[in-house]
Structure 1
Amino acid sequence: MLRILALLALLAPLVAGATDAATSAAKIVKQGNGKGAAPCMACHGVDGGGMEATGYPRLAGLDAAYLQRQLDDFANGTRANSVMQPNASALSEDERAALAKYYSAMPLPARFAKPATAPDAKGERLATRGDWSRELPGCVQCHAPGGVGVGASFPPLAGQPAAYIEAQLRAWQQGTRHNDPLALMQHVAKQLTPQEIQAVAGWFAAQPLPATGSTP
């Protein structure tokens, strides 16, 4: 009995710390941190689903390690963005980690379970098969069938606003974003025409996602 009580005493600070981190993340999402970081929901929505009209990405259900790396890269200047850099820089390392876990655990909004719209033939072809005459692999070879994402290095594309996907492809293409594994995305993006970028982005944005749970 004494051993159990001693173990519980050791675990209590860890449990309390996890609870405090979750509470802190929820507060930052709704109110900011009072140190320069704005409320996350102002751009990424109350449900973490992003904003299609403005191209702000979905965060709900994304891999925690991927989210934390992006926040860290914004904070240290590895990834450039005029909105995210000052906000991420105003967050402590613990706050960035807490936010990554918070959004990773957030269920996908039901609206992402919508049926896929009529696919764009060019976008579908490039997304699923690529064009090997240009050494261009299909996007799903890294981002998984349907674009649901794989782990910390290959985020989901399905359910992201088309404008966001387009903006990232242009950033890879122009070299203003370069935090990809082995420069894979820079190679891929440089092979695409503006019309192809638009077609691929539109195809992935139209793909449905499960209504509940986290991104696989």
Structure 2
Amino acid sequence: MPPIGQAFMPALCGVALMLACHAAAQAGAPQVPAMAERVAACVACHGAQGRAGPDGYYPRIAGKPEGYLYNQLRHFRDGQRRYPPMNYLLTNLSDDYLRQIARHFAQQHPPGATAAAGNTSAAVLERGRLLATQGAPERRLPACAACHGQALSGLQPAIPGLLGLPRDYISAQLGAWRNGARRAHAPDCMADVAQALTPDEIHAVSTWLALQPSDAPLAVASTAALPIRCGSVGATP
């Protein structure tokens, strides 16, 4: 059973979503809402400045590449990515409005809290580290760092960083790609990677990533070829 505070998070986010949707409905009026009003619903779930929610599920969006954030907002708005509160919130927002929100959070760089290791064994953490930094060459499974940058802080213009993300969120997204609930442009490289991982490996790499400090260098541009074909990289940001 979730803690009492966590149990109230959906309700709090719901209130914020309604307020933000009301502001969004007024977007065509002469007075455009201030940025603080536009992102009120975002920070209610994703934390101040988008640093990550307190419940271990809502991800950090601060400092992500602008192109990545914009694409995700579009996908939620257009139904390509499914999460009802996000789909509802973004339904009537224009591309320009979404770009402004994406640009705002891309420019935020608050320090992130590092998760506690708890009772995770050293063997599990080492397994996660090897998967994240070296992959499994014998299985042609690329490392997370091969696509998301050696510092795991992302690559411009549209590959997200993996730092500052709660373990449960990382695990849930890998699971969603593994079972087809989340999809990207073909060839869907993340689906291929997730399907090659075992549940134990997903747990290991999610736990290790969540324990890494989130104040890494900013996402940088890279012209290096990715180790596998990835359709979303070529998508228009």
> When the two structures are superposed, what TM-score results if normalisation uses the length of structure 1?
0.77
Deviation at 1:116, TM superposition (A): 9.3
Contact 1:24–1:95 (8 Å) recurs in 2: no
Alignment partner, residue 161 of structure 2 = 156
Determine helix, strand or coil for the equivalent of 1:110.
coil
Distance 2:129 2:218 in 1: 24
Q: Deviations over 1:119-146 (max 9, x none)?
A: 8011001111111222211110001123
Determine helix, strand or coil for the equivalent of 2:50.
coil
- Identical-pair percentage: 37
Contact 2:65–2:159 (8 Å) recurs in 1: no
Determine helix, strand or coil for the equivalent of 1:85.
helix
Counterpart amino acid of residue 93 in structure 2? L
Contact 1:169–1:189 (8 Å) recurs in 2: yes
The structure whose Rg is larger is: 1
Contact 1:127–1:138 (8 Å) recurs in 2: yes
Is the counterpart of residue 187 in structure 1 residue 192 in structure 2? Answer: yes
1:64-213 maps to which residues of 2 (within 5 A)?
Answer: 64-107=66-109, 109-112=110-113, 120-180=125-185, 182-210=187-215
Q: Decide whether aligned partners of structure 1 residues 84 and 47 sit closer, same or farther in structure 2, where only a CA change above 3 A counts.
A: same
Distance 2:38 2:173 in 1: 25
Deviation at 1:193, TM superposition (A): 1.1
Alignment partner, residue 36 of structure 2 = 26
More helix by share: 1
Distance 2:214 2:56 in 1: 21
Deviation at 1:49, TM superposition (A): 0.6
Deviation at 1:201, TM superposition (A): 0.9
> When the two structures are superposed, what TM-score results if normalisation uses the length of structure 2?
0.70
Gaps of 5+ in 2: 1-30, 221-237
Deviation at 1:181, TM superposition (A): 6.3
Distance 2:54 2:201 in 1: 20
Determine helix, strand or coil for the equivalent of 2:68.
helix
Distance 2:146 2:131 in 1: 11
1:63 to 62, 65, 71: 65
Deviation at 1:180, TM superposition (A): 5.0
Determine helix, strand or coil for the equivalent of 2:39.
helix
Deviation at 1:66, TM superposition (A): 0.6
Determine helix, strand or coil for the equivalent of 1:207.
coil
